A and B are shown apart, each in its own frame.
Chain A
Amino acid sequence: MSALTFTLKIQPQQRIDLSPLTPDTLAGKSVADIAAISLLSGKVQLRTDQVFDISGDDASDIVFNNSNGKLDSIGHGMKTGRITIHGDVGSYLGFQMKKGEITLHGNADAYTASGMADGLIHINGNVGDFLGAAYFGDRKGMKGGTVIVTGNAGERVGDQMRRGLILIEGNVGSYCASRMLAGTIGILGTAGEYIGYGMRRGTVLMTQKPTLHTTIQDCGTHTLPYLNLMFKSFAALPSKFAQISKNRVQRYAGDIANEGKGEILVLV
């Protein structure tokens, strides 16, 4: 069995919703069945074989080649298996993902990992705004699982995030961890303004001190033993975060305008 491979063969004019193409929805389907699956693109329906050259047969291991930023909702609600993507993707990568693994070699757009419950998304590139954030009208963002971004992330990373782990090796935009409910966000680069705005609980781990607004308060430097547990859990991850070993931090707590039990830890 070889990986079920979708190679993009058209230049899409409209965005294409790829949510029907996940390992659990394709399991047990023949190539003809898969070719006939209709994909929504604007107001038209496209057959999958109009959009992609399809090869391989292992639906638990899906590969998208030649991908571009018009392809939305890859890995939507996926519960099992693995998706590997070569090229950029559009929005909603891993939206409400339940389990499994997505590896992206390229950039992703907005709402990546929004509503994600478990699994791993590994992005070798940059992501847009609202990474792991709550979707419109939802009251909770990401609820579990792990997201690793080797590049930069846009604004509102982890907005209303409830649980899980987001590790960003590059920089993040403004309003990171805004209204965060719980969970952990790690940032090796810089952060924009208003980090932790309206944060209730949760942890943001940084290596450099960000600009803080007035309702984030300094709690002093500490050696926190729980960081040993956290870094031990990072050790198996394919990320630069696996190499962090120190556990001495400056602890800022907030947002005291909103319960204030969140923390921004800056490694010192």
Chain B
Amino acid sequence: MIINGVSIDDTFAEAFGMRGTRVIITAQNHKWAFNAANAMTGFATSVIACGVEAAIERELSGDETPDGRPGYSILMFAMGSAVLMKQLETRLGQCVLTCPTAAAFSGIDSGYPEITRINLGKNLRFFGDGFQISKKFGGKRYWRVPVMDGEFITEETTGMIRSVGGGNFLILAESQPQALAACEAAIEAMKKIPNVIMPFPGGVVRSGSKVGSKYKTLIASTNDAFCPTLKGITKTELSPEIESVMEIVIDGLTELDIRKATRVGIAAACALGAENGIKRVSAGNYGGKLGPYHFKLREIMEDDSLSNLAGATA
């Protein structure tokens, strides 16, 4: 399959089941909501060392948030519910409770077959040292915690669902600037898809890994088959003209959300085409034995029903 001169490999991205949650952060204005949301999703690129993969999903206007203030929705994914709950609590406590004017609300209440309620501000309320106040509106419990700038408002719980993490594709280009330009175009398009995040810096990762290492203590190491500088000395996957490879990793609330994001991302990269040095699109997998979700690139690019950009609620 060739799109605009870019060859799409007959391969698939292998992804895993994760636990996902959404939190709505609001504040006096977008600037301060961003400060809280950005801090809360900081150091959250990969579950390997960060515990969670998290990022801002999108900006919200005042009429989309529970308290009518501007805000951001963020998505957080982890390999298990315990670690997700722990990370949510510590990050909320250090990054939103601390941030002037910021408040936190549940981002998943309905639309999924199985929603588990997990603590949002439920334990954080004890920061109020007995002065915290509970209020219940519309069946939801909120906590008012007195803080130095006024009151920190948080919903007691948010919704957690079974979701999918580790969807990915690789962009292979003739030069590093061209690979990055294609990734930037892909990310720009993918950001418009709801229910997904690309957790790496700017949405792009350059250090794809393989399982194992020559060093016994390492469980993963650089993916030498895709390292352009090793073309002559390793069993390479790269043809002579490829000078740079970059990867986009996608976590989504459902499999369909990731399929949609993969499609628009690859389409945006291919729009630059071979004339801009974009030569190939591939994907990372472990032979299909580890992850239950397989995102076959060619199948996704042929499935026109994925062009409907609305989010999935499976």
Contacts and interface: CB of A to CB of B under 8 A. Distances in A.
A228 B135 contact: no
A233 B137 contact: yes
B192 to A, nearest CB: 28
A98 to B, nearest CB: 15
A228 B136 contact: no
A228 B150 contact: no
A225 B135 contact: no
A261 B146 CA distance: 12
B131 interface: yes
Interface string A218-251: 0000111110111011000000000000000000
Contacts of B103: 225
Interface string A115-150: 000000000000000000000000000000000000
B134 interface: yes
Contacts of B142: 226, 229
Interface string B96-140: 000001010000000000000000000000000011011111100
Contact of B153 (A201, A222, A225): A225
Contact of B150 (A163, A182, A224, A233): A224
Contacts of B138: 233
Contacts of B66: 229, 232
- List the 9 shortest-distance A-B pairs measured between CB atoms, nearest first: A233-B137, A228-B67, A228-B68, A233-B138, A226-B153, A226-B144, A229-B67, A229-B137, A225-B153
A201 B128 CA distance: 15
A91 B131 CA distance: 37
A232 B153 contact: no
B69 interface: yes
10 contacts: A163-B136, A182-B134, A184-B135, A224-B150, A225-B101, A226-B67, A226-B153, A229-B153, A230-B137, A232-B137
A96 B229 CA distance: 77
A203 B135 contact: yes
Interface in A38-73: none
Nearest to B150: A222
B151 interface: yes
B135 A230 contact: yes
Contacts of B137: 229-230, 232-233
Interface string A191-228: 00000000001010000000000000000001111101
Interface in B47-76: 66-69
Nearest to B62: A228
Contacts of A163: 136
Interface of A: 163, 182, 184, 201, 203, 222-226, 228-230, 232-233, 261, 263
A230 B153 CA distance: 12
B169 to A, nearest CB: 41
A201 B132 CA distance: 10
A229 B151 contact: no
A233 B137 CA distance: 6
Given A233-B137, A261-B133, A226 B69 contact: no
Contact of B133 (A201, A222, A228): A201
Contact of A232 (B68, B101, B144): B68
A232 B133 CA distance: 19
A224 B151 contact: yes
A89 to B, nearest CB: 28
A225 B136 contact: no
Nearest to B105: A229
Nearest to A222: B150
A226 B151 contact: yes
Contacts of A184: 135
Contacts of B134: 182
Given A226-B144, A228-B69, A263-B133, 16 more contacts: A201-B133, A222-B150, A224-B150, A224-B151, A225-B67, A225-B103, A226-B67, A226-B153, A228-B67, A229-B66, A229-B67, A229-B137, A230-B137, A233-B138, A261-B130, A261-B133
A225 B68 CA distance: 9
Contacts of A182: 134
Nearest to A202: B133
Interface in B185-232: none
A184 B142 CA distance: 14
B133 to A, nearest CB: 7
Contacts of B68: 228, 232
Contacts of B130: 261
B90 to A, nearest CB: 24
A203 B66 CA distance: 20
A201 B133 CA distance: 8
Contacts of B153: 225-226, 229
